Structures are given as structure tokens and as C-alpha cells.
């Protein structure tokens, strides 16, 4: 069995998703997609909800995908994935398909947090064996930065503008990873594009479980978030270091933190490089900054307590351990 | 049409950069632990100091546009099932 690093470098899996797509410079989505597709050993079928990834990788007459790929509407990527998986299961039982095939559905945060949530919930509850990957760039970036359920509190978007009487999005973001974990599916994890190995190992675990799996990956957007393109990975890293985006997994109902920062950075480190939070650093918004810090601290403490209360993950050492050796 | 690939060699290892694919985002420049890569005047990536390269492959894994490939003399071929 090859280990994760060897697999990611293998020629056959490296050609699944290729370059020459039209995603913006510095986009985090291709980093996420190539990492996940590179570490799956079996043949893969990709299902893609509408979003940045679908629009930019399949401009007629070109495509960036070298694997079977299905585009569906915003709301039903998970429903189509369950249909494809059921058809595969039937054909396999009849002996028409000799090989094991894995199904990976990709959706943005708009297509997962908001529009596709009920299809996703249904597919998870029915227990189809597929991996759903949500690349979370925290707004509808494809159509011009409109707010979504994943947009964080006080972020500026085109439909939650900053002005005299408003300070950006007034609501908090929803915690989709916890919502999915509440479906009692075998594997749910939260990852970030900044931690390559963590994401790669989580993707391998997710396709190895018999049942639905879900990955929520923080993916930066230089155009929407307003940061220099070369800072993409660093900003995702700051999200992890400030505990805004904790890396954890829920495997068979057991919660496990995969990364605990040595020194928890203040949330301003994550907010300051991004233009969508620039208004928070003007005078008169100190209370908002304190409120964001309080929310992050509360969420982190809740998560730490949750991971301590329950027995540790069946995978010793969390996701950083190679379990296939 | 021949695709231009810049090859930077060091011993048996080499770094292949396809400038046509590069969008000049600079993710690889920031990620490189050895400071090998830099953007040139056209906004495309170049290996300025290939002698310092340790061929870790982090630029390859993080490049969103598949412009960089790291080749080693001995590529481990895992047996795919």
C-alpha cells in the first residue's frame, strides 16, 4: 500500500484534475481539489455542484477534468451523487463493474451551506457511500461576493455592505461541520488548504469508510476576501492558528482535535490582512472586534471540551497518523 | 505546437516550470522554504537559485495552476490496485 506522499506523486492520479482552468490567480479551490483527488487510489467519479469550480474548469470546449465528471444544479449535487452511487452498487452486484469506484461530490459553500443542504442531509441520512467536499470560501464568490450562510460575522459582502448604519453581515455563520456530524455519519472532518498532509490523510480516511463522509475545507478567495494572491496559503494558516477554523474530525461519533496551536493568536491576526474586515479596524468598531474574539474563544472552548469528554479517535494521533501501514 | 517548459537542473533532480500555465499568483514563492523561486518581470515564476532547492515538492503541491513539477531521479511507483 503506497503512503500518502507517494500516492500524491503518482502519475496516474496526478492527471485527474489539470491546470489551464480559469480560476483566479491565488485561488484556494484547485489546491483543495488536486490534493483530494491525488490521494484516492481507486478510480474516481466527480460530481460538481454549480459554483466557481464548475464554471471556471469547464469553459466550452475545454475541460480541466480527466475523469468522469457530472455537473448538476446548485441544490442537488448530493442527490445526484446518491443516484450515481446506487446505480453503481446495482451494476456491481450484477457483476457488470469489476472495479471499486469512489464518488466525490464537490460543492461550494453556497451550494452546501444554503442551497444544497436538504439534498446533502437526505443523502447522508440514506447512507450512500460517497465523499462530499465543501470548499468553503465564505460567500457566493462565483456571482460576485454575495453573503452566504458561511459568511462570518461582520464581513463585508456586496449584499451586506458597510455603511453608516451597517457593519457588514450582522449574523453569525452556521457551523455546517457540526450539522453534518449530527447525522451520525462515519466520517466528518474540517480541514484547510494550508495543511496539505492533514487534508490528504483526511481525504484518504474519508474514502476508506463504508458510508457517507464529509470534508469541510477552508479555501481562500483573493478577490472576495481582498488579500494579495501570494498570501492565500498564509491566510488559511492564520485561520487555523487563531482557532477560527479548528482542524478536527468526527470519526464514528468520536471527536478528535487534529491540531492545537502552541500559542493561540488573537483573532485580529486573521482579520487584519483581509479587506472584507478592513472596516473593523476603523475607530468605533472596537466592540465588534471584542465580540468576534469572544465568539471564537467560546467556540474553541466548546470544541476542546467536546473532544476531551469523549474517548479519543480510533485512529491514534488523529489524522496525522498513517493508518494504512 | 511545442509547449515551452523551463527546466532547472541540479544533479539528478530537476524542476520543470511551464510559464504558459503560470498566472503569477506567487503562492509558490511564499511557500518555498529555501527561497528558490521568484516572479520575473513578466509576472511568471522562475527558479532564481536552483542550487538552494531541496526538491521538497511543496511548490508543486500548492500550485493552483499546475505550472511547476518536481522530478526526481528515482520516482517511487506505488502499485495501484
**CATH code: domain of residue A155:** 3.40.50.970
CB contact under 8 A, B78 and A2: yes
**Contact criterion met (CB < 8 Å) for A228 and B26:** yes
Determine the Cα–Cα distance for residues A103 and A77; give it in Å rounded to an integer: 11
Q: Does residue A325 lie within any of the structural domains?
A: no
pLDDT at B79 over 60: no
Tell me the chain B residues in contact with residue A20 when contact means C-beta distances shorter than 8 Å.
21, 65-66
CATH of the domain spanning B6-71:
3.30.70.20
Mean pLDDT in residue range B50-60: 88
Please report residues of A whose CB lies closer than 8 A to that of B24.
Answer: 25, 229
Burial class (CB in 10 A: 0-12, 13-18, 19+), A207: buried
Cα A278 from Cα A226, distance rounded (Å): 9
Q: What percent of chain A stands above pLDDT 90? A: 77
Rg (CA), chain B: 13
Counting one residue from chain A and one from chain B, the pairs whose CB atoms sit within 8 A come to 80
pLDDT tens figures, A24-65: 999 999 999 999 998 898 999 999 999 999 999 999 889 999
Q: Which residues of A touch B25 (CB under 8 A)?
A: 25-27, 222, 229-230, 232
C-alpha cell belonging to residue B67: 505550472
Nearest CA in chain B to A21: B65
Asked whether residue A90 is assigned to any structural domain, the reply reads yes
Written as nine digits, the cell of A7 is 500516492
Distances in Å between the Cα of A285 and the Cα atoms of A158, A208, A274, A277, A289 are 20, 47, 16, 11, 7
A160, A152 Cβ separation under 8 angstroms:
no
Domain ranges of chain B: 6-71
Per-residue pLDDT, averaged over A291-316, amounts to 78
d(CA A195, CA A239): 11
Using alpha carbons, select from A90, A81, A72 the residue that is nearest to residue A124.
Answer: A81
pLDDT given at position B11 = 80
Give B74's pLDDT tier (boundaries 50, 70, 90): low
Smallest Cβ–Cβ distance between B78 and the set A7, A18, A21 belongs to: A7
* Contact present, A108 and A49 (Cβ < 8 Å): yes
What are the φ/ψ torsions at residue A173 (nearest 5 degrees)? -80, 155
Cβ–Cβ < 8 Å for A51, A105: no
Instruction: Identify the residue whose cell numbers are 513578466.
Output: B42
CB contact under 8 A, B21 and A34: no
Which residues in chain B have Cβ-Cβ distances shorter than 8 Å to A233?
27, 30-31, 62
Higher pLDDT, B80 or A108: A108
**For residue range A201-237, what is the model confidence (pLDDT) as tens digits?**
999 999 999 999 999 999 999 999 999 999 999 999 9
For residue A75, give how far its alpha carbon lies from the nearest alpha carbon of chain B (Å).
26
**Number of Cβ within a 10 Å radius of residue A13:** 23
Average pLDDT on A255-261 reads 88
Kindly state the average pLDDT of the residues B58-65.
Answer: 89
- Structural domain span for residue A270: 4-320
* Three-state secondary structure readout of chain A: CCCHHHHHCCHHHHCCECCCCCCCCCCCHHHHHHHHHHCCCCCEEEEECCCHHHHHHCCCCCCCECCCEEECCCCCHHHHHHHHHHHHHHHHHCCCCCCCCEEEEEEEHHHHHHCCHHHHHHHHHHCCCCEEEEEECCCEHHHCCECCCCCCCCCCCCCCCECCCCECCCCCCCCHHHHHHCCCCCEEEEEECCCHHHHHHHHHHHHHCCCCEEEEEECCCHHHHHCCHHHHHHHHHHHHHCCCCCCEEEECCEEEECCCCCCCCCCHHHHCCCHHHHHHHCCCCHHHHHHHHHHHHHHHHHHHHHHHHCCCCCCCCHHHCCCCC
A325, pLDDT greater than 50: no
Per-residue pLDDT averaged across B39-66, rounded?
89
> Which DSSP symbol is given to B3?
P
Q: What is the mean pLDDT of residues A10-29?
A: 85
Residue with cell 474530525: A249
All residues of chain B having their beta carbon less than 8 Å from the beta carbon of residue A3 are 78
ipTM at complex level: 0.83
CA distance A235 to A265: 13
User: Quick check: B66 and A23 CB within 8 A?
Assistant: no
| Contact: B78, A230; criterion CB under 8 Å | no
* Element holding B62 (H helix, E strand): helix B58-62
Segment A258-281 mean pLDDT: 92
In chain A, the number of structural domains is 1
Q: Which residue has the higher pLDDT, B71 or A8?
A: B71
Cis peptide bond N-terminal to A61, omega within 30: yes
Residue A7 half-sphere exposure toward CB, CA atoms < 13 A? 22
Distance from CA of A127 to the nearest CA of B (A): 25
Q: Residue A237 falls within a domain, yes or no?
A: yes
Q: Is the residue at A91 inside a domain?
A: yes
A203 touches A8 (CB < 8 A): no
Partners of A8 on chain B (C-beta within 8 Å) are 61
Amino acid at each position: 500500500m503506497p503512503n500518502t506522499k507517494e500516492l500524491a506523486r503518482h502519475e496516474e492520479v496526478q492527471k485527474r484534475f489539470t491546470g489551464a482552468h480559469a480560476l483566479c490567480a491565488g485561488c484556494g479551490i484547485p489546491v483543495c481539489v488536486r490534493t483530494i483527488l491525488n490521494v484516492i487510489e481507486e478510480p474516481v467519479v466527480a460530481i460538481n455542484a454549480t459554483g466557481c469550480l464548475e464554471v471556471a474548469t469547464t469553459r466550452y470546449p475545454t475541460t480541466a477534468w480527466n475523469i468522469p465528471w457530472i455537473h448538476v444544479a446548485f441544490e442537488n449535487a448530493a442527490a445526484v451523487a446518491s443516484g450515481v452511487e446506487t446505480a453503481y452498487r446495482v451494476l456491481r452486484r450484477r457483476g457488470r463493474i469489476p472495479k471499486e469506484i469512489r464518488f466525490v461530490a464537490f460543492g461550494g459553500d453556497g451550494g452546501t451551506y444554503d442551497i444544497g443542504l436538504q439534498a446533502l442531509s437526505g443523502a447522508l441520512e440514506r447512507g450512500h457511500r460517497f465523499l462530499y467536499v465543501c470548499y468553503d470560501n465564505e460567500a457566493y464568490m462565483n456571482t460576485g461576493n454575495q453573503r452566504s450562510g458561511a459568511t462570518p460575522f461582520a464581513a463585508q459582502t456586496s449584499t451586506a455592505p458597510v455603511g453608516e448604519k451597517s457593519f457588514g453581515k450582522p449574523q453569525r455563520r452556521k457551523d455546517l461541520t457540526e450539522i453534518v456530524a449530527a447525522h451520525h455519519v462515519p466520517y466528518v472532518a474540517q480541514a484547510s488548504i494550508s495543511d496539505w498532509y492533514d487534508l490528504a490523510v483526511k481525504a484518504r480516511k474519508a474514502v476508506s469508510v463504508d458510508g457517507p463522509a464529509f470534508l469541510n475545507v477552508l479555501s481562500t478567495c483573493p478577490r472576495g476576501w481582498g488579500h494579495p494572491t501570494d498570501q492565500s496559503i498564509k491566510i488559511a494558516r492564520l485561520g487555523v492558528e487563531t482557532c477560527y477554523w479548528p482542524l478536527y474530525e468526527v470519526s464514528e461519533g468520536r471527536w478528535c482535535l487534529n491540531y492545537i496551536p502552541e500559542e493561540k493568536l488573537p483573532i485580529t491576526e486573521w482579520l487584519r490582512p483581509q479587506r472584507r474586515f478592513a472596516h473593523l479596524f476603523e475607530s468605533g468598531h472596537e466592540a465588534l472586534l471584542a465580540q468576534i474574539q469572544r465568539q471564537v474563544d467560546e467556540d474553541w472552548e466548546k470544541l476542546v471540551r467536546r473532544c476531551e469528554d469523549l474517548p479519543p479517535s480510533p485512529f491514534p494521533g488523529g489524522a496525522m497518523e498513517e493508518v494504512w501501514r | 505546437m511545442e509547449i515551452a517548459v523551463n527546466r532547472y537542473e541540479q544533479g539528478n533532480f530537476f524542476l520543470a516550470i511551464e510559464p504558459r500555465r503560470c498566472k503569477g499568483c506567487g503562492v509558490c514563492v511564499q511557500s518555498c522554504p529555501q527561497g528558490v523561486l521568484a516572479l520575473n518581470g513578466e509576472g511568471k515564476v522562475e527558479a532564481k537559485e536552483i542550487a538552494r532547492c531541496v526538491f521538497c515538492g511543496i511548490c508543486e503541491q500548492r500550485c493552483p495552476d499546475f505550472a511547476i513539477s518536481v522530478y526526481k531521479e528515482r520516482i517511487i511507483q506505488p502499485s495501484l490496485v
